[in-house]
Amino acid sequence: MKLFNRFRHFFLNLCLGLCLNLCLGLLVFPVAALAGSADSRLIPSPQTHGAFLLEPWQPDAPSIIAFKDPYCPYCIKALTKLDKLKGYNVFMFWSPILGQASQTKVDEIFGCADPVSLSVFAAVINRRQVSCDKALQDKGENRLKQLNEQVVASYDPQSVPSYYFGGQKVHIGALDRFKRRLSTAVKPVQLNWQRYLSLKLPQQPHTGLANMLVFAPGHLRQQQAFLDALKADYRYNWFVADLSCEGRACKDSEQARLSAELRLLLAADGRKQTAFAINGMVLQPERYPGFLSEEIISLASMPAVGVGN
């Protein structure tokens, strides 16, 4: 009996530990490692998907995609607390994953001209029939419903409510904690980022939580794996500048001139290793793990081919 009790105690502790690790793992915002690529997922734009915005478009605000089912109790509860999403551009789409009743309700919602109006939300919250201005049909087709289905198919959410940032699934609370961390740990230098748009990496129509500038040597700027790793870190708007420049090309190239200007402004001249600056503040290497993925840190330290061998 004593042996049995010991085994039971051990088993219960093991289960509890696994549950805690799983729960904590789900709640942590991915800082050190980012899972998966969002390249194949459709990122909504205000031009095409403006009808799904909860508030008027804010050009400088980060964007979030929310998926909800009209019969999901947690979704209904979230609809009563939309103020928690202030500061974001929120695109909301209806994902009827809970069965035929949900699909029927979504069909009813898309009979409305505005599928994310307050009257629609009130009907969903109070579980009553939707009363709204009717949607216009284009040759018998409902364009907004088609757009909704296209985005839902692109993400295929398996649970609701679900939130995505830059094509990656996130927890709003964890995202907010990372934003607060940025505001407390980073002392931004005021830069006119519009001036340096030619240095910005092409990313999907998505606004990150901060601007991240990389002073990179020539071999890294041509390393596709490094550039892909940067673009995959959806938390940032990425700008890539020259770590150094020599010769006439420094005067003839716009990238070289802007890079030299940034090195001067951020006191980054003379550096020999790849350097990162978040919102204009140069990060010390010991702080990299708190803001950069392990992959980016590893690739940034790679020497040029033939160097150091």
Provide the CATH number for the domain around residue 118: 3.40.30.10
81 and 140 inside one domain: yes
Q: CA 207 to CA 57: how far, in whole Å?
A: 12
Q: CA 99 to CA 92: how far, in whole Å?
A: 19
Of 139, 170, 201, the position where a domain reaches its end is 170
Cβ-Cβ contacts under 8 Å for 171 (sequence gap 6 or more): 26, 27, 29, 163
209 and 266 inside one domain: yes
* Residue 69 within any structural domain of the chain: yes
Of 107, 135, 170, the position where a domain reaches its end is 170
Of 170, 197, 215, the position where a domain reaches its end is 170
211 and 252 inside one domain: yes
158 and 196 inside one domain: no
229 and 114 inside one domain: no
246 and 209 inside one domain: yes
For residue 255, what are the CA distances in angstroms to 132, 187, 199, 202? 53, 26, 7, 15
Q: Name the residue range of residue 269's domain.
A: 184-300
* Residue 35 within any structural domain of the chain: no
* Residue 11 within any structural domain of the chain: no
- Dump pLDDT digits (tens) for 97-137: 999 999 999 999 999 999 999 999 999 999 999 988 887 66
What is the total count of domains within the chain? Answer: 2
54 and 136 inside one domain: yes
221 and 282 inside one domain: yes
Which residue is it, tokens 């909860």? 54
153 and 226 inside one domain: no
* Residue 20 within any structural domain of the chain: no
Please give the model's pTM, rounded to 2 decimal places. Answer: 0.75
List beta partners, residue 92. 66
* Residue 131 within any structural domain of the chain: yes
Torsion of CA 78, 83, 88, 90, to 10 degrees: 40
Residue 244 CB coordination number (10 Å): 17
189 and 165 inside one domain: no
* Residue 138 within any structural domain of the chain: yes
* Residue 36 within any structural domain of the chain: no
Regions of the chain with pLDDT less than 50: 2-37, 307-309
CB 28 within 8 A of CB 170: no
Query: What pLDDT, on a 0 to 100 scale, did the predictor assign at position 305?
Result: 63
Nearest alpha carbon to residue 93 among 32, 23, 41? 41
* Residue 22 within any structural domain of the chain: no
161 and 60 inside one domain: yes
258 and 234 inside one domain: yes
